[in-house]
Structure 1
Amino acid sequence: MLSASILAAFQHQFHYSPLLVRAPGRVNLIGEHTDYNEGFVLPAAIDKEICFAVGLNQTDTIRLYSFDKQELYTTAAAQVQRGNTLWANYLLGVVAQFQKRGITVPGFDCVFGGNVPMGAGLSSSAAVECGLAFALDHLLGTQLDRMTLAHMAQKAEHEFALVQCGLMDQFASLFGRQGQVVRLDCRSLEYEYFPFDTSRCHIVLCNSGVKHSLASSEYNTRRQECEQGVAVLRQHYPQIGSLRDVTLAQLQQHAAELDAVVLRRCRYVVEENLRVEAACQELAAGNLPAFGQQMYASHAGLRDDYEVSCPELDTLVELARPLPGVYGARMMGGGFGGCTINLVEVDHVEEFTRRMQQLYQQATGIPLETYQTTIVAGVSELPTVALT
């Protein structure tokens, strides 16, 4: 059991009893690259998670131990700054956010490790940030609400990991509910839960096994392209604040003024927001086949208009489409590799994973890893009593 291993490692390393916390990774059913355009997303927390054992150590030193890497990192609590140890930056960024709020963070010990596959697009980084933010809030008695913690975790990623992510990943890790997906309005931060019937359908992730180096540079380029589109459209419609405010009719009317690439980027975002809305209505009506069609349409947009897919992801979606019990499939996450998310009827899950492994290996020569996931609650404290 992961939490028992993390607890044992903490007690072996530091010789006292810590606070134990679990922070889940996330999937996003639909609504990709809409978050930084102030649009809509539909994530859920999943049962791949990072566990933390954290305790105040009565010194002025922070000691961080990566269970997965078997590495120890120490720094003075008063001198937290970005360093060359990449994994530590995610945690140090969180400490810095507390300090920026005028909260004194004393020395503490932290052991963390998890089963969120790295590089699969399940947002292990947000789980790391949110888990520590939750633990420190608890240990320091700061009583910050979950939305504040999500913003602090996001800023940690911006400032210490240097990734200009939207809020979705941190939000999903903190606000997940068992058996429900949550639609987040990335502008107003209003959110609404929708039931996801796990007795009918499972979420199966297929890991392409590739991570093309384009991902981070292209991510920032897409943001700029979207902003260019907004700047042109705002000359005609001053009320437009982001692509969230743009209609397809407005886009078509001024298509000639937009660079051809910028037009495609904007069209994808505007259409994806409409798909999230439609998909939520289908979920509420229990219409999984119709929900799946929105996923396929999302993938086509990501492939053709936003151009963040890659041959391996496209292959996975096309291989899944004709298999029995598959409602829908699409690439998930930033793109250029990582996973596809597949909605598969419960009775067909085993056959689906077997066939996909076989077909993908034949098509690409790459062995396929699959993960069956269930939808769980967000970040929470774990009891240590039962584990000792």
Structure 2
Amino acid sequence: MTPLIRKIENEFKNHFTDEFILVKSPGRVNLIGEHTDYNEGFVLPAAINMGIVLALAPNGLDKARLVAMDMDDSFEIDISGEIPQSEKVWPNYLLGVVDQLRKSGYSLEGFDCVFGGDIPIGAGLSSSAALEGGVLFGLATLFDLNIPPVEMARIAQKAENDFVGVQCGIMDQFVSLNGRAGQALKLDCRSLDHEYYPFNNEDIRIVLCDTGIRRELATSEYNIRRKQCEKGVSILQGVDPDIDSLRDVELAFLFRYKDKLAPDIFKRCKYVIEENKRVLQACSDLQQDDLTSFGHRMYQSHLGLRIEYEVSCKELDTLVDIAQDQAGVLGARMMGGGFGGCTINLVENEQLQQFKKQIKSEYEQQLGQSLSVYDTKVSQGTHLLTESELTSIQ
């Protein structure tokens, strides 16, 4: 990260001034709790040590002057009036934040921003949320905006929903902004209440295996799954009007009225109810430092996503099967919407290099495809980089 920070600093000085603040905004992993967010359930994400670094300063103008260092591209726009979308796309993640801050009643002036990162694009580690959270935190700092943490997450989410046009949930922005080093964050997606649980075992690494598969099917099937869950809730509400979401349904209740549901609707509902329970049990595992049980729940989660929610694919299943046979692997599952992307694996440090070598080799042997592997650590959420951090970051 240090070379990246130095590049950002130099790039800002070359384009603008020597006076600026530096913000680091992390990507995230979701340890367990997939497809539960839009069902008002629980998720257990964590911020990671891969992220985006932004240099920002007020410019005394009515303009936002933006530089995307990784893309070798720049953009300038007047922000004194209504802000239009950019055809370049990437500026919209920053402009959406400005737009939402204004609509939320916060006043700000023109600013300069240079940013770059080390989050693999498209790997499902939420580079967009990191960018939104980073510029939001930076602007709040520059212009003394007193924005509570939960409201900050809502603003960042609405920037992506309403300006960029991506209908994401709030988990990514929330954990990127509010993550803590050595702790996972349990988020109640209904109330936004959140708690922290220890995830600081130095002998364990979080390893991401990226299939490199990006399928359009993920978006269409995601929308279908949402509608199926809503259909299940609608039918069950006919029995109990107090049911607002699958969060309110017990498994025994679901089985009692199984005949009212089409087979695919029943399977989707069953998975979500069981996954919510797994998240709560996984939190208890972390409290007891029982990563063996935690890893077992990850395997159960993947099985549910594969068989009941039907959002896995051959590549993801192959990776989980390979991981399950490797020494030092406590748990593995697909992470994200499905049909491609990454698996998340808990791997003992002493077996890390062997695991990375073995899973790359077997994946290529079985599927004829190369595999990108990243090992990460649970890290601090979005924050100002201090002078001491700049000298101590490895």
> TM tier, shorter chain?
over 0.9
Q: Give the secondary structure class of the aligned counterpart of 1:29.
A: strand
Is the CA contact 1:20–1:384 (under 8 Å) kept in the aligned structure 2? no
Tell me, in whole angstroms, the C-alpha distance in 1 between the residues paired with 2:43 and 2:232: 21
Cα deviation for residue 83 of structure 1 reads 2.7
Is the aligned partner of 1:379 residue 2:362? Answer: no
Q: Partner of 2:129 in structure 1?
A: 126
Q: Partner of 1:166 in structure 2?
A: 169
Q: Give the secondary structure class of the aligned counterpart of 1:189.
A: coil
Q: Partner of 1:71 in structure 2?
A: 73
Is the CA contact 1:198–1:374 (under 8 Å) kept in the aligned structure 2? no
Match of 2:202 among 199, 208, 219: 199
Cα deviation for residue 231 of structure 1 reads 0.8
Cα deviation for residue 190 of structure 1 reads 1.6
Tell me, in whole angstroms, the C-alpha distance in 2 between the residues paired with 1:356 and 1:239: 47
Cα deviation for residue 161 of structure 1 reads 2.3
Tell me, in whole angstroms, the C-alpha distance in 2 between the residues paired with 1:273 and 1:174: 23
Match of 1:349 among 343, 349, 352: 352
Q: Give the secondary structure class of the aligned counterpart of 2:99.
A: helix
Q: Give the secondary structure class of the aligned counterpart of 2:241.
A: coil
Alignment of 1:33-182 (within 5 A): 33-77=35-79, 78-182=81-185
Is the CA contact 2:200–2:378 (under 8 Å) kept in the aligned structure 1? no
Is the CA contact 1:226–1:262 (under 8 Å) kept in the aligned structure 2? yes
Q: Partner of 2:249 in structure 1?
A: 246
Tell me, in whole angstroms, the C-alpha distance in 2 between the residues paired with 1:374 and 1:34: 24
Tell me, in whole angstroms, the C-alpha distance in 2 between the residues paired with 1:4 and 1:68: 14
RMSD: 1.5
Is the CA contact 1:36–1:165 (under 8 Å) kept in the aligned structure 2? no
Tell me, in whole angstroms, the C-alpha distance in 1 between the residues paired with 2:217 and 2:158: 23
- The count of residues paired between Structure 1 and Structure 2 equals 388
Tell me, in whole angstroms, the C-alpha distance in 1 between the residues paired with 2:158 and 2:337: 18
Match of 1:24 among 16, 23, 26: 26
Deviations 1:297-343 (A, max 9, x none): 10011111112111111110001001000100000111121110000
Cα deviation for residue 160 of structure 1 reads 2.0
Is the aligned partner of 1:5 residue 2:7? Answer: yes
Deviations 1:45-101 (A, max 9, x none): 100000001111111111111111111112110231223222111111111110101
Is the aligned partner of 1:319 residue 2:322? Answer: yes
Tell me, in whole angstroms, the C-alpha distance in 2 between the residues paired with 1:188 and 1:344: 33
Deviations 1:129-187 (A, max 9, x none): 10011001111111101111111001111112222211111111111111111111111
Match of 2:239 among 236, 241, 244: 236
Cα deviation for residue 387 of structure 1 reads 6.5
Q: TM-score, normalised by structure 2?
A: 0.95
Q: Which amino acid aligns with 1:75?
A: I
Q: Give the secondary structure class of the aligned counterpart of 1:357.
A: helix
Aligned in 2, Cα 1:229/1:63: closer, same or farther, shift over 3 Å? same
Cα deviation for residue 220 of structure 1 reads 2.1
Q: TM-score, normalised by structure 1?
A: 0.97
Q: Give the secondary structure class of the aligned counterpart of 2:322.
A: helix
Is the CA contact 1:90–1:161 (under 8 Å) kept in the aligned structure 2? yes
5+ long unaligned stretches in structure 1: none
Cα deviation for residue 198 of structure 1 reads 2.7
Tell me, in whole angstroms, the C-alpha distance in 1 between the residues paired with 2:379 and 2:125: 14
Match of 1:368 among 368, 371, 381: 371
Is the CA contact 1:4–1:387 (under 8 Å) kept in the aligned structure 2? no
Q: Give the secondary structure class of the aligned counterpart of 1:126.
A: helix
Q: Give the secondary structure class of the aligned counterpart of 1:240.
A: coil
Deviations 1:259-315 (A, max 9, x none): 222221111111100111111111211221111110001001111111211111111
Tell me, in whole angstroms, the C-alpha distance in 1 between the residues paired with 2:265 and 2:43: 22
Tell me, in whole angstroms, the C-alpha distance in 1 between the residues paired with 2:238 and 2:264: 19
Q: Give the secondary structure class of the aligned counterpart of 1:85.
A: coil
Identity, in percent, stands at: 50
Comparing 30-39 with 82-91, which one deviates more in the overlay? 82-91
Tell me, in whole angstroms, the C-alpha distance in 2 between the residues paired with 1:307 and 1:356: 24
Deviations 1:219-261 (A, max 9, x none): 2222221111111111111111111111111211222222222
Tell me, in whole angstroms, the C-alpha distance in 1 between the residues paired with 2:10 and 2:276: 45
